[in-house]
Amino acid sequence: MIRIYNTLSKKKEDFIPLEEGKVRMYVCGPTVYNFIHIGNARPMIVFDTVRRYLEHKGYEVNFVSNFTDVDDKIIKKANEEGVSAEEISQRYIAECKKDMEGMNIMPATTHPLATQEIDGMIDMISELIDKGDAYAVNGTVYFRTRQFKDYGKLSHKNLDDLQAGNRSLLVSGEDEKEDPLDFVLWKPKKEGEPYWKSPWGDGRPGWHIECSVMSKKYLGEQIDIHGGGEDLIFPHHENEIAQSESCSGKEFARYWMHNAFLNIDNRKMSKSLGNFFTVREISEKYDLQVLRFFMLNAHYRSPLNFSAELMESSKNALERIQTAVDNLKFLAEHASTQEMTPEEAAKAEEAVKYEKAFDDSMDDDFNTADAIAAIFDLVKFANTTADEKSSKAYAETLCEKIQGLCDIMGLITEKKEELLDEDIEKLIEERQAARKAKNFARADEIRAELLEKGIVLEDTREGVKWKRA
């Protein structure tokens, strides 16, 4: 039985899906105005692993994760570059998908875009107004927070405490609100911003309504698991519950899962501190499999500290697994006997305990750190029990066990082939020729191909320099 720590109840609960054998799961995706940073990567990796484990357990998972493609930050970036907001969001959705592929994150069942779901948002807002749970003032629509009696149940906050202690919660335009705690569902357009037509005037939706609408459209009124970073608990997820449950009259999500923050060298990541890293920047130093391994080497609810030393030790640890797999493949290929001996069959049976330890760890609120420890125990067992005298069947069995567990974690066990120096130089020459011929698509392709093999190019005044990541 899988047990999940539910933010709603603040305790671990047995996981019982709404529909037997199926899981409906929604995870808040990034706002796409730039390259994703490593803070964005943590929930992506965590919930991809949760999904993989649920599938390993035989569940059919409908996994929905959105892209917020209309937002103040996107509009600001578009205005700075003199292009449309759509151009910015489409560019960074494509870049985000590249990074996700590098981290071996499976594409969602559906990746909805906020801008393509505006009609549904207008419908839900209209329904909330009809029910008396929302009201329009001068083109802005607000949700009546006090009307939803359970408000605060996820963040465990009390409405009166919020009113007294938290001035930052008061959204602009508070003089028009009936209550300072009411939040925005629709806002009127401003000069130079994208907008849509609505019964309350031209404008665009508030952030919170997006996820309620996309979740309902692709998963139904009730879902099993809603995930995201702990920074979304309040107000985003709290407001999602209020909107969704006011509309449907049903419990919106059964289990709420939140990953803890990521710090850099024991400090909060911020541009002002100069400790802000994008996934793309990390990919120039490390294979993104190392980043994935690093993230999974801690429990998702534990704060995680990112540092160069920890990345190096993650790289070495991942290489230990890859080397063990390589070694077993070599032994299987060169084995003189095919079938297992009775002693080997007994050992293969003994190895099952590591698979059980892995499952036990993952069943306990997806404890990936302990699950990885079980993989290392299996690696150690393989290294000490398989040698050149082993049968092909025994080496293959151990290899399959390690690869099977790594696959559930989304960890790739094949080592990338090393390029020879002269091959690198040849590709750089081809890239230079392509650039001269203004064939920039081919030049970018070669750069990406080299980066994929761990070769980073730097264009300098003295020509192209390269180094191995």
Q: Give the per-residue pLDDT at 463.
A: 83
Domain ranges of the chain: 21-259, 279-408, 421-468
- Rounded-to-integer distance, Cα 146 and Cα 160, Å: 10
Which residues of the chain fall below pLDDT 70?
164-175, 417-418, 469
Task: Give the gyration radius of the chain's Cα atoms.
Answer: 25
Task: Give, in order, the Cα–Cα distances in Å from 197 to each of 184, 187, 203, 214, 433.
Answer: 17, 11, 7, 19, 50
Q: Give the per-residue pLDDT at 169.
A: 47
Closest by CA position to 402, among listed 393, 412, 392: 412
Closest by CA position to 235, among listed 187, 186, 188, 182: 182
- Rounded-to-integer distance, Cα 120 and Cα 110, Å: 16
262, β-bridge pairs: 304
Apex 68 CA angle, 219 and 243, nearest 5: 55
- Please list, in sequence order, all residues whose beta carbon lies within 8 angstroms of the beta carbon of residue 195, skipping any fewer than 6 positions away: 189, 202, 203, 204
- Rounded-to-integer distance, Cα 98 and Cα 375, Å: 28
Q: Residue 28 corresponds to which amino acid? A: C
Q: Give the per-residue pLDDT at 165.
A: 53
Sheet holding 304-306, edge to edge: 267-268, 262-264, 304-306
Q: The domain at 279-408 falls in which architecture?
A: Orthogonal Bundle (1.10)
The listed CATH number (3.30.1370.160, 3.40.50.620, 3.50.50.60, 3.40.50.2000) that belongs to domain 21-259: 3.40.50.620
Q: Give the per-residue pLDDT at 333.
A: 95
- Please list, in sequence order, all residues whose beta carbon lies within 8 angstroms of the beta carbon of residue 452, skipping any fewer than 6 positions away: 416
Q: What is the pTM of this model?
A: 0.89
Closest by CA position to 469, among listed 276, 321, 282: 282
pLDDT digits (tens, 9 = 90+) for 325-347: 999 999 999 999 999 999 999 99
Q: Give the per-residue pLDDT at 166.
A: 52
Q: Give the per-residue pLDDT at 378.
A: 98
Secondary structure, 3-state, the chain: CCEEEECCCCEEEECCCCECCEEEEEECCCECCCCCEHHHHHHHHHHHHHHHHHHHCCCEEEEEECEECCCHHHHHHHHHHCCCHHHHHHHHHHHHHHHHHHCCCCCCCECCEHHHHHHHHHHHHHHHHHCCCEEEECCEEEECHHHCCCCCCCCCCCHHHHHHHCHHHCCCCHHHCCCCCCEEEEEECCCCCCCECCCCCCEEECHHHHHHHHHHHHHCCCEEEEEEEHHHHHHHHHHHHHHHHHHHCCCCEEEEEEECCEEECCEECCCCCCCCCEHHHHHCCCCHHHHHHHHHCCCCCCCEEECHHHHHHHHHHHHHHHHHHHHHHHHHHCCCCCCCCHHHHHHHHHCHHHHHHHHHHHHECCCHHHHHHHHHHHHHHHHHHCCCCCCHHHHHHHHHHHHHHHHHCCCCCCCCCCCCHHHHHHHHHHHHHHHHCCCHHHHHHHHHHHHHCCEEEEEECCEEEEEEC
